[in-house]
Structure 1
Amino acid sequence: MISYLIVDDEPIAHRIIEKYCSMLPHLEKKGNCYNAFEAMQFLNENEVNLLFLDINMPKLSGFEFIKTISNPPKIIVTTAYKEFALEGYELNISDYLLKPFSFERFVKAINKTINTVKEKDTLLGFTKPIIESLGTSFFLKGDKKHTQVHLKDLLFIEAYGHYTKVYLKNEMIVSHEKISSFEKLLPDSQFIRTHKSFIVSKSEINHIEGNRIIIQNHKIPIGQTYKVNVNKLF
């Protein structure tokens, strides 16, 4: 698990980051601090792998706070001020998020942070998610729980950086499994790889338009090297 601490004087910023983190496996909140002095005390008593840090805080700024930490964890700056980005990177931060930031940009920052850690499995204490097949269903670890996914409810799967989005009829689960693991698990008779980033359920395809597959309101691309797979459906 990647343990994280939020340091920001705005409560709404905490809620947004917590919401985004709850959608990603392997992220575990350790605490909330609303100024740099609270964060100093927290880090003296606890260890975390990642800080979400605001810059503009009372008494001591985020960058001044970074300079007080002798062995800082990975840091993602979250701020409304774009003009301090260069200074942030000079302090070896992992990424610089401008408020308001989207979930997609947030995931990109998390992926970038993971990439900067050598031997991340050891340093961050990852445990590989479990996919255990039961024939017509499988258990998938995501959102800090194991969910039983029934093949009949699975629409498609999308590779998403270090994560994979599993789209079901009633929900979407973000998993840390690679799309190649799903390709090995899912039966060829029911699922087809249509793109380097997509696997779809054959029975859920509404129609095919040129180089796109339509499933409900989703438009899924057909990759050039996977066209032969799709042509076998006709």
Structure 2
Amino acid sequence: MKFKCYILDDEPLALNVIEQHLAKFNQFEVCGKSTEPFEAMSEIKILQPDLLFLDIQMPDITGLELIESLQNKPAIIITTAYREYAVEGFELNVLDYLVKPIPFTRFIKALDKFLGQKLGPVSASSISSPEAVSDSAFILVKAERKTIKIALDDVLYVEGVKDYVKIVLPQQRILTKVSIGNFMAELPGDKFLRIHKSYIVAKDKISAYTAHDVEVNQVEIPIGRVYKEAFLKVMEGRG
């Protein structure tokens, strides 16, 4: 059994992140998506999705107003950068409220909650496809006019460059247009660490470190001041 999902977000990047997350699970299929609220309202009525991923701050109408306008409401998961609407969202009986950038593990919990309602108590990861493991085996990125599948085990580190990230692999560098914050949200937190405003590193690729930098594949990468305490806590087994 597959559950139909519809995604509405006025940011194409955020929409694509959710679609890529859902593609890792056999139980879900994207039946529609849109960056235009009024177009989405018509499509939702026709497609009758089981689950709606909905942004709040959009042009002309808010996500909360859209919820109130729906006659036959699907299960709704709000996806937003704004924490302050959580109470209003839950008053409208939304299933879950995810704050961007959304960690993949948090995304799984939201799906698990949906499946729990539909199928009874069950773990999302236990009934997912082989690719849909909780730490995610790969990531899909857009680069050079194509979609590239990258095995997470191959990633050494990631460098933010303005509106892009450079993904560094042993034999390759891939540049894709996405903020480093949104990219970090797609990565499993037990395997990757944000150590600087411009750098993410793979934990198992760190060969040495100090309180000021880490060494990955013979490259020294700085540790940002605001990330230092959390980094050392993880590396010293205190977190």
TM-score scaled by length of structure 2: 0.51
SS of 1:15 mapped into structure 2: helix
Q: Quick check: 1:53–1:77 contact (8 Å CA) kept in 2? A: yes
Alignment of 1:177-216 (within 5 A): none
Question: How far apart, CA to CA, are the structure 1 residues paired with 2:35 and 2:124?
Answer: 30
Q: Quick check: 2:6–2:51 contact (8 Å CA) kept in 1? A: yes
Give a deviation string over 1:175-208, Cα, whole Å, max 9, x none: 7xxxxxxxxxxxxxxxxxxxxxxxxxxxxxxxxx
Question: How far apart, CA to CA, are the structure 1 residues paired with 2:88 and 2:4?
Answer: 25
Total equivalences in the alignment: 133
Partner of 2:16: 15
Calculate percent identity across the aligned residue pairs. 39
Superposition RMSD in Å: 2.5
Whether 1:72 and 2:73 are equivalent positions in the alignment is yes
The amino acid across from 1:109 in the alignment is: A
Partner of 2:64: 63
Gaps of 5+ in 2: 134-203, 205-239
Gaps of 5+ in 1: 121-159, 167-171, 176-216, 218-234
In the alignment, which of 122, 126, 129 is matched to residue 164 of structure 1?
Answer: 126
Give a deviation string over 1:31-72, Cα, whole Å, max 9, x none: 111122011110232211000000000001000000001110
Give a deviation string over 1:120-167, Cα, whole Å, max 9, x none: 7xxxxxxxxxxxxxxxxxxxxxxxxxxxxxxxxxxxxxxx9332399x
- Over 3 Å counting, the alpha-carbon distance change for 1:79 and 1:91 in structure 2 is same
Alignment of 1:109-148 (within 5 A): 109-117=110-118
CA deviation after TM superposition for structure 1 residue 25, in Å = 1.4
Partner of 2:30: 29
TM-score scaled by length of structure 1: 0.53
Question: How far apart, CA to CA, are the structure 1 residues paired with 2:111 and 2:45?
Answer: 24
CA radius of gyration, larger in: 1
Alignment of 1:90-109 (within 5 A): 90-109=91-110
Question: How far apart, CA to CA, are the structure 1 residues paired with 2:33 and 2:132?
Answer: 24
Q: Quick check: 1:9–1:57 contact (8 Å CA) kept in 2? A: yes
